[in-house]
Amino acid sequence: MRPLILVTNDDGVHSHGITALQNAMKEIGDVYVVAPDRERSAVGHALTLHRPLKAEEIRETVFSVNGTPTDCVALGIHKILPRKPDLIASGINKGSNLGDDITYSGTVSAAMEGTLLGVPSFAISMAGDRPFLFESALPFAQKIARYILDKPLQPDTFINMNVPNIQLSKIKGMRLTRQGKRVYDNAMQELFSPGGEQYYWIGGGKPVWDSDEENDIQAVISSYVSVTPLHLDLTNYTVLEELKTRWRD
Find the mean pLDDT for residues 164-183. Answer: 94
Of residues 1 and 92, the one with the higher pLDDT is 92
Do 130 and 78 touch, CB atoms closer than 8 A? no
The CA distance from 230 to 109, in Å, is 11
Identify the band that residue 112 occupies on the pLDDT scale cut at 50, 70 and 90. very high
Q: How confident is the model at residue 204 (pLDDT cuts 50, 70, 90)?
A: low
Taking all residues of the chain, what is their mean pLDDT, rounded to a whole number?
93
Least confident of 26-35, 130-139, 190-199, 215-224: 190-199
The percentage of residues in the chain with a pLDDT greater than 90, rounded to a whole number, is 82
> Are the C-beta atoms of residues 126 and 163 closer than 8 Å to each other?
yes
Give the C-alpha separation, 39 to 11, whole Å: 4
What pLDDT does 199 receive? 86
Q: Is there a contact between 13 and 62 (Cβ–Cβ < 8 Å)?
A: yes
Confidence band for 189, pLDDT divided at 50, 70 and 90: confident
Banded model confidence at residue 191, pLDDT cuts 50, 70, 90: confident
Confidence of residue 192 (pLDDT cuts 50, 70, 90): confident
Other beta carbons within 10 Å of 221: 15
Which candidate, 70, 73, 80, places its Cα nearest to that of 48?
Answer: 70
Confidence of residue 209 (pLDDT cuts 50, 70, 90): low
Reported as a pLDDT band with limits 50, 70 and 90, residue 183 is low
Cβ atoms of residues 68 and 85 within 8 Å: no
User: Rounded to whole angstroms, what are the CA distances from 95 to 5, 91, 248?
Assistant: 23, 10, 47
Q: Is the confidence at residue 212, as pLDDT, over 90? A: no
Given pLDDT bands bounded at 50, 70 and 90, which one contains residue 186? low
Of the pLDDT bands very low, low, confident and very high (cuts 50, 70, 90), residue 187 is low
Domain 4-181+210-246 sits in CATH at 3.40.1210.10
37 Cβ contact list (under 8 Å, min separation 6): 12, 13, 56, 64, 65, 66
For the cut 70, the answer to whether the pLDDT of residue 55 exceeds it is yes
